[in-house]
Amino acid sequence: MGRTPTPTSLKVIRGNPGQRTLNSSEPKPPPADLTPPDCLDEIGIRVWNEMAPLLTSMGVFTQADRMLLTRYCLLNEQFSHVVKHVRENGMTQLTQTGYSQLTAEGSLFKSLPSELLRIEQQFGMTPAARSTLKVSHAAANENPLASFISKRSG
């Protein structure tokens, strides 16, 4: 199946290290709506309200990425509930034959972090993922509304 292709925007940010021809016809999704989806609970909304503006300011969040961030928030909700359950009840239970067995929550406690990490890497939310990116600090810290207004006014 091979490696997942690197998006053109990430190649540009990284400085196109492979020097391959960039896809000039790649779709460019519109900026993301930062309103949290209705399917999130209190924990998910808190994660959304923290991450959506951050990812937008990093230049890696568009309307096409809303479902991925929603999934990330839902997984964070689930992980929060699992952590609470594991703290209260532990990760294992005794079977009828006396053996210790991992509970469903214990299994999720072990598997959810890797799912979260995959999404974090997609968005450049880990130090290793960020180390491959190059951004203009002026552009990263620039207010998009102020930039738009200044370009329109003259």
Q: Please compute the mean of the pLDDT values over residues 98-109 and round it to a whole number.
A: 95
- pTM of the prediction? 0.73
Which range of residues forms the domain containing residue 111? 35-133
Range among 10-14, 17-21, 106-110 rated most confident: 106-110
pLDDT at 131: 77
* 108 falls within a domain: yes
* 57 falls within a domain: yes
Compute the distance between CA of residue 123 and CA of residue 52 in angstroms, rounded to an integer: 11
* 21 falls within a domain: no
* 154 falls within a domain: no
**Is the per-residue pLDDT at 61 higher than 50?**
yes
pLDDT at 40: 98
* 22 falls within a domain: no
Q: How many domains does the chain have?
A: 1
Compute the distance between CA of residue 62 and CA of residue 68 in angstroms, rounded to an integer: 10
Q: Predicted confidence band at 142 (pLDDT cuts at 50, 70, 90)?
A: low
Q: Predicted confidence band at 63 (pLDDT cuts at 50, 70, 90)?
A: very high
